[in-house]
Amino acid sequence: MLGIGVSFLLVFVKLLAGHIGHSYALIADATESSADVLSSGLLWIGLRIAQKPPDTEHPYGHGKAEPLAAIVIALFLLGAAVWIGWHAIQFIRTPHEMPRRFTLPILLCIILIKEGLFRYVLKVGKEIDSQAVKADAYHHRSDTITSIAAFIGISIALILGAGHESADDWAALLAAGIIVFNAISLLRPAINEVMDAAPSKEIVGRVRNLASQNLMVRKVEKCYVRKMGFDYFVDIHIQVDGFLSVTQGHAIAHAVKSKLLESNLRIKDVLVHVEPFGQ
């Protein structure tokens, strides 16, 4: 909600300054900010859906709404980059007035605000391990990049003078390329999560280690972990003494499950399969 509020305000500031100051890079920057407003709104909806409890139609919960929101945000980034790049090329080919000097301090303030917002949102995204929130953070970072590019382009145009008005537009084109790179970087992990790709080796290793701490577990045979929204689901195969009773094997499996659920790994559910060892 903070991101939506800040971006909404900056859209009007950038549009007004861009039109009065004859800067397409600043207008392109306003377009990027408007995409921020829309994507942050979609993120908010996606997170609300992801937090819904399981039901009969979604027994594993609604966590997939979170990476789906990240994918939509990344696609919005790509769309904004194409729009900015296309219009930058049009402006490069069309003579126009020199950008105004007053746009520089405005851009400097925008850069500081957006970079601060990026760092805050990224910190939250890492704390809750949310690809969607991280994607939204980098959406703010891409806004910072377009503002920096606009600042550099306008500065070059003002320093070199008449005949170099298009430096502002070249800056917008460069920013579009950087935004495309960021969007693709965000798209890959979100798609992997939707396709139930395994999390980091560190997470899987910690799950195996916790299960192995039970003295009755001879070996952790298999361990599959998948992320669903903010939580993890674990399927694990453990080997126990083959001469134990079914009741004893069940008790060991229950103990392993409880230990994993009580860990700080945000594990939502565990399915433990018991295999006989030594037979």
Q: What are the phi and psi torsion angles at 220 (to 5°)?
A: -95, 110
Quote the CA–CA distance of 237 and 56 in Å, as a whole number.
27
Nearest to 230 by CA among 67, 55, 23, 17: 67
- Span 72-85, pLDDT tens digits: 878 887 887 888 88
What integer pLDDT is reported at residue 25 of this predicted model?
67
Q: What are the phi and psi torsion angles at 64 (to 5°)?
A: -65, -15
Quote the CA–CA distance of 267 and 230 in Å, as a whole number.
9
- Span 88-110, pLDDT tens digits: 888 777 766 777 788 888 888 88
Beta strands in the chain (DSSP E): 219-228, 231-241, 267-277
What integer pLDDT is reported at residue 248 of this predicted model?
93
What integer pLDDT is reported at residue 145 of this predicted model?
80
What integer pLDDT is reported at residue 84 of this predicted model?
80
Interaxial angle between packed helices 201-212 and 246-261, expressed in degrees from 0 to 180 and rounded to the nearest 10:
140
Low-confidence stretches of the chain (pLDDT < 70) are 24-25, 32, 95-96, 163, 165, 278-279
Distances (CA, A) of 44 to 70, 148, 200: 11, 27, 26
- According to CATH, the superfamily of the domain at 2-194 is Cation efflux protein transmembrane domain (1.20.1510.10)
What integer pLDDT is reported at residue 278 of this predicted model?
66
Contact 52, 64 (CB under 8 A): no
Tokens describing residue 129: 């391990």
What integer pLDDT is reported at residue 276 of this predicted model?
92
Domain 201-277, second-level architecture: 2-Layer Sandwich (3.30)
Tokens 């991101």 belong to which residue?
Answer: 3
Give residue 153's Cα distance to chain centre.
28
The distance in angstroms from the start CA to the end CA of the chain is 59
Contact 242, 276 (CB under 8 A): yes
Domain ranges of the chain: 2-194, 201-277
What integer pLDDT is reported at residue 208 of this predicted model?
94
Tokens describing residue 135: 């994607």
Contact 164, 156 (CB under 8 A): yes
At residue 93, the 3 state secondary structure works out as coil
